[in-house]
Amino acid sequence: MPRVRADDYDDKKSKILDAAAKLFSKQGYAGSRMDEIGTACGVSKSMLYHYFKKKEDVLADILQEHVSRLIESVSAHVDAGVNGNKFDYFRRFVEVYLNRSGNARASHVVAMYDVRYLTPQQRKKQVKLEWRLLELIEAILKEMKAGDSRTDYRVSAFLLIGMLNWVELWYDESGQISAAKFYEKISRLFLTGFLERGATT
Amino acid sequence: MPRVRADDYDDKKSKILDAAAKLFSKQGYAGSRMDEIGTACGVSKSMLYHYFKKKEDVLADILQEHVSRLIESVSAHVDAGVNGNKFDYFRRFVEVYLNRSGNARASHVVAMYDVRYLTPQQRKKQVKLEWRLLELIEAILKEMKAGDSRTDYRVSAFLLIGMLNWVELWYDESGQISAAKFYEKISRLFLTGFLERGATT
DNA sequence: CCTACCGATCGGTAGG
DNA sequence: CCTACCGATCGGTAGG
């Protein structure tokens, strides 16, 4: 009887990815060794090479999975449509984005810091994914206000995603400002500035 | 006659730091080797150890110098005072910050991505410097609007610095949007949102 | 799925 | 006795 892929193959693989993401987020990709990843999830180094051909493949999988999930969440929000108050729609987008990236903070940190360690091919694929996310954010901004040039939405989308990604790196949910208050604040600050007439010329 | 420190000691040292910053910004700190830094500036690896005791000291010097210069520039702007139109004062701050970080883009990228490779002691010193920069930005925001709680200025300062730092990573001066237009846009977007009454509650 | 290793390369230092 | 600098090589560890 030929050997088949173990039932828990995917399960183990995602456990490795979780441990690796946590490690990379602390020490950086280049500062983490394969055997450290193994120790962190109770697997031998050789075993890791059963799931991943190269060290870079671990990184690529973390990044791709993270952005894919972000796209999924944001996409669902876009598909649902405005359906009522525009500001509320925007605020809920901010909430969805920051919740998604916050729940996977380790992966998010790695996505911020370690993209450069991907091979050119892996990087190309990753950048493509990130553009899809940017386009979704552009779509949301277009819902907020129609009539300007495309370039303008792109720049605004960049500014927004920059602010959100940065926030994720330092915002502490256990801190002084509650998550809900924070979503409200950041949404209002950005949207007010974005909607103001002079801001788009 | 006793030998003294060479006349061009500081000059050579800053040349090394420039080359290292460029290298780190492309390959990351952990992905760059000491001998690569040497090759990049025409100096032997052993020579590098005349100027820096450890590899980490190269990184620490790059980061400290970069943030110190940012502080210097922003501090001068704060000292100059508003002197007229408030929006103009804010826009000029954005210009100063993005010009300073843009002229030293390599160092800025390294400051964004590689702080984690500092030793705990070096990191502590670096974080202290960065707090000083944040306080300066808080001071500017306070000039724009008085009367709110301290926490609020801090969060807004974080949002602003996040947007500015992020921008530096992708903004292409040779691109479609001119630097002047861009400073104007980002300033107006942020300040409008920041000054709006609801945004600060 | 482990132990035993490899080719190479790392940061850092020797003698002169 | 200091600083400036080289070719060679150290002990230890990386990915595989």
Task: List chain B pLDDT tens, one digit each, 201 residues.
Answer: 344 566 677 888 999 999 999 999 999 999 999 999 998 988 889 899 999 999 999 999 999 999 999 999 999 999 999 888 999 999 999 999 999 988 899 999 999 999 999 999 999 999 999 999 999 999 999 999 875 665 578 889 999 999 999 888 888 777 778 888 889 999 999 999 998 864 443
CATH superfamily assigned to domain B54-200:
Tetracycline Repressor, domain 2 (1.10.357.10)
Does residue A132 register a pLDDT over 70? Answer: yes
CA–CA separation, A30 vs A7, rounded Å?
32
- Chain A nearest-CA residue for B183: A199
Nucleotides, chain C, CB distance < 7 Å: 1-4, 9-15
CA–CA separation, A193 vs A142, rounded Å?
15
| pLDDT tens figures, B83-103 | 889 999 999 999 999 999 888
Which pLDDT belongs to residue B151? 55
Asked if B186 lies within 8 A of A31 by C-beta distance, the reply is: no
CA–CA separation, A70 vs B96, rounded Å?
34
Which of B159, B161, B192 minimises the CB distance to A199? B192
- What is the DSSP annotation of chain A? ------TTHHHHHHHHHHHHHHHHHHH-STT--HHHHHHHTT--HHHHHHH-SSHHHHHHHHHHHHHHHHHHHHHHHHHH---S-HHHHHHHHHHHHHHHHHHTHHHHHHHHH-GGGS-HHHHHHHHHHHHHHHHHHHHHHHHH--SS-HHHHHHHHHHHHHHHHHHHHH--TTSSS-HHHHHHHHHHHHHHHHHSGGGG-
CB B24 within 8 A of CB B110: yes
CB A34 within 8 A of CB A55: yes
Q: Which of A119, A37, A113 is nearest to B28 (CA)?
A: A113
CB A97 within 8 A of CB A133: no
Which pLDDT belongs to residue A175? 77
Distance of CA B201 to the CA centre of its chain: 30
Does residue A6 register a pLDDT over 80? Answer: no
Which pLDDT belongs to residue A137? 97
Q: Name which residue leads in pLDDT, B93 or A180.
A: B93
The region of weakest confidence among A89-103, A125-139, A171-185 is A171-185
Q: How large is the C-alpha radius of gyration of chain B?
A: 19
Report for A27-31, A67-71, B80-84, B153-157: range of highest mean pLDDT: A67-71
Residue B57: count other Cβ atoms within 10 Å of its Cβ. 16
Sole residue written with tokens 């103001």: A196
Which of B29, B159, B176 minimises the CB distance to A186? B159
Element (H, E) at B158: helix B150-170
Does residue A38 register a pLDDT over 50? Answer: yes
How much of chain A exceeds pLDDT 70, in percent? 91
- Provide, in whole angstroms, the distance separating residue A70's CA from nucleotide D13's C1': 37
Considering only CA atoms, which residue is closest to the C1' of nucleotide D8? B46
Q: How far is CA A149 from CA A138, A196, A198, A200, B55, in A?
A: 12, 15, 14, 9, 48
Structure tokens at A119: 């091979």
Which pLDDT belongs to residue A55? 93
CB B81 within 8 A of CB B174: no
Structure tokens at B121: 């002691």
Residue B11: count other Cβ atoms within 10 Å of its Cβ. 10
Element (H, E) at A22: helix A9-27
Which pLDDT belongs to residue A12? 83
Which pLDDT belongs to residue B197? 63
Q: How large is the C-alpha radius of gyration of chain A?
A: 19
CATH superfamily assigned to domain A53-200:
Tetracycline Repressor, domain 2 (1.10.357.10)
Q: What is the mean pLDDT of residues A59-63?
A: 95
Which pLDDT belongs to residue A200? 40
Q: Residue B42 has what DSSP assignment?
A: T
Chain A residues with CB under 8 Å of B162 CB are 162-163, 165-167, 169-170
CB B129 within 8 A of CB B67: yes
Structure tokens at A79: 């598909």
Confidence of residue A201 (pLDDT cuts 50, 70, 90): very low
CB A152 within 8 A of CB A59: no
Report for A123-127, A170-174, B12-16, B148-152: range of highest mean pLDDT: A123-127
CA–CA separation, A57 vs A14, rounded Å?
13
CA–CA separation, A74 vs A79, rounded Å?
9
CA–CA separation, B68 vs B132, rounded Å?
9
Nucleotides, chain D, CB distance < 7 Å: 1-8, 13-16
Q: Name which residue leads in pLDDT, A197 or B174.
A: B174
Confidence of residue A134 (pLDDT cuts 50, 70, 90): very high
Q: Looking at CA atoms only, how far is residue A52 from chain B in angstroms?
A: 21
CA–CA separation, B201 vs B197, rounded Å?
8
Q: What is the mean pLDDT of residues A118-139?
A: 94
B127 close contact with A: CB closer than 8 A: no
Confidence of residue A2 (pLDDT cuts 50, 70, 90): very low
Which pLDDT belongs to residue B148? 60
CA–CA separation, A182 vs A178, rounded Å?
6
Confidence of residue A149 (pLDDT cuts 50, 70, 90): low
Which pLDDT belongs to residue B18? 93
CA–CA separation, A62 vs B112, rounded Å?
21
